[in-house]
Amino acid sequence: MEDIGPDSDSDFDLEPDGRTEHFSLLNHDIRAAMSDVIGGLRLVDMSGLDMDTRLQLERVRSSGEVLARLVEEALTIIGEAAPQPEARTILNLGRFLHDLDMRWSGRARALEIGFQLILEGDIPLVISTNRMALDRVLGNLLSNALKYGDAGPVRLIVEQSGDDALVFHVQDDGPGFSDEALERLYQYAGRPENSAKPGTGLGLRIAREMADRIGGQLSVSTSPQGGAGISLRLPRKAWALDAGERAPINLPDLTGLKVLVAEDNETNQLLAGQMLTTMGAEYEIAPDGVEALNWLEREDFDLALIDIEMPRLNGLAAIQEIRSKPGRQAQMPLIALTAYVLKANRDAIFSAGADGIIAKPVMDINTFGSAIIGHLGPLDGERELADPPPPDAAPDAAISCQRMDELLRIAGPATAPELLDRLIADFARVGANLDTAARENDRDSARAETHVLISLSGAIGADGLYKLATALNTATHRQDYATICELGPKAVDLINAIVVKLRAKRAAVATS
């Protein structure tokens, strides 16, 4: 075989720019292949399969999602000058443990060893930690238990201790640790050479490093009757949500939700993430439409928030692509995030398959959360729509001059008159439809019109109308006809007053 030396023309001896391009192409193909594997597994119809086959496919699917995250992390580190710091995020612990159960029970069955996931008492529904680090700790501990615990079963016991520590116990019925093994515990390649089974001890080394990263401690024990036990203990400060991560009682509670945020602007990413975290949701960020599709192929989400203007693949195309695919993701609620809220824009967004629109900039966290819950409906029969801030007793028809001027600047002098004409027509149309819906107690029509009204009033900075529309929208969700009848006419009056202001602005633009 020819030796490839430093002067070779091999792909592995590229100039710096060539190396960058080569890595970029390889990076793309690896991610695409991972997405195809996971996406293909999700398309398998399991309804006609026996239980063993379904369990194995679930194991492969869950392991594939972990592999995708590991590959993503590895490629990011390789492509960066230095690894990025690992961040704590909201983690739905129930969903995380379910995936662990699927993955490891399938593997145990293949080895003809039992596996048990045991939840002792009440454990938190959501925690704040680094997901991949926790997964790697438990994955290495469970892998070792299945390898060395000959008799089975392997047990993963999760409990919250008296001092509020979150503890994960991994137990097996194997021979346990020898004295020599205990002396060399956690050392690199520290497994004794005369061990009955092959292995290097690298798994425990990784587990200890990952435990340190998330503020946890590992402890090891060997039972006199045989069997090993390793526990990961996370003190409260290592897993508990900060005060800012909890959903205050006067905010919508999104605990347990997993949300995809497709948004290219870093500031908007930060704001959306902070609001979702405050309301208890777990979320992932996709900086463009292509990466949004990749996330949806890799993992399941309860909802996607999709910016309309994004690089590589815009929001409309991304929504259409999601709706065209088979499976559960195609029915997932999709909400567009956009500053373009005129009728033509809304028609295009809804035609693409969106369920709703949240106007940029988002006015407040309560409305943001209420809009999300409004499209999801009650979860597990328990979640209710939180009360929005009460509308002002006498809301005015003020319009934000700064917001209005920004809209006109974006439109440009040539199209500013057309923009104002469309705004006037849209507000007038919504006012007429809302008036009819309120008089006829037509909740569905009122709900649809309030969604439009929230977007329109937010776009021009009409805070009084925005609060009124939000309260009216909540009333339509609750089928509170008394409130609909009370607030509907007030909203119509306010709309008419704003239309007068917009017409005055239109006249001023025409003469300038």
- The residue among 232, 235, 66 whose CA lies nearest residue 135 is 66
In the predicted model, is pLDDT for residue 81 greater than 50?
no
CATH number of 87-241: 3.20.20.80, 3.40.50.150, 3.30.565.10, 3.30.420.40?
Answer: 3.30.565.10
pLDDT-above-70 percentage for the chain:
71
Comparing 30 with 355, which gets the higher pLDDT? 355
CA-to-CA separations, 384 to 254, 334, 358, 369, 442, in angstroms, rounded = 10, 20, 20, 11, 22
In the predicted model, is pLDDT for residue 7 greater than 50?
no
Question: What is the pLDDT, as a whole number, of residue 174?
Answer: 76
Query: Which is the CATH superfamily of the domain at 243-386?
Result: Response regulator (3.40.50.2300)
pLDDT in tens, 394-407: 667 778 777 777 66
Tell me the pLDDT band of 6, cut-offs 50, 70 and 90: very low
> In a 3-state reduction of DSSP, which class is residue 452?
helix
Comparing 404 with 432, which gets the higher pLDDT? 432
Comparing 426 with 406, which gets the higher pLDDT? 426
Q: For residue 338, report the phi and psi dihedrals to the nearest 5 degrees.
A: -160, 150
Question: What is the pLDDT, as a whole number, of residue 72?
Answer: 66
What whole-number distance in Å separates Cα of residue 436 and Cα of residue 445? 9
pLDDT in tens, 354-389: 888 887 766 567 778 877 877 775 444 344 444 555
Alpha helices in 80-111 (DSSP H): 93-110
Cβ contact 104:142 at 8 Å: yes
Question: What is the pLDDT, as a whole number, of residue 288?
Answer: 92
pLDDT in tens, 191-248: 555 555 555 567 788 888 889 989 999 988 877 667 788 899 999 999 987 655 555 5
pLDDT in tens, 114-152: 888 898 888 887 788 888 889 889 988 888 888 877 667
pLDDT in tens, 469-483: 878 877 776 778 888
In the CATH scheme, what is the code of domain 389-512? Answer: 1.20.120.160
pLDDT in tens, 323-359: 988 777 778 889 998 866 667 777 888 889 988 888 7
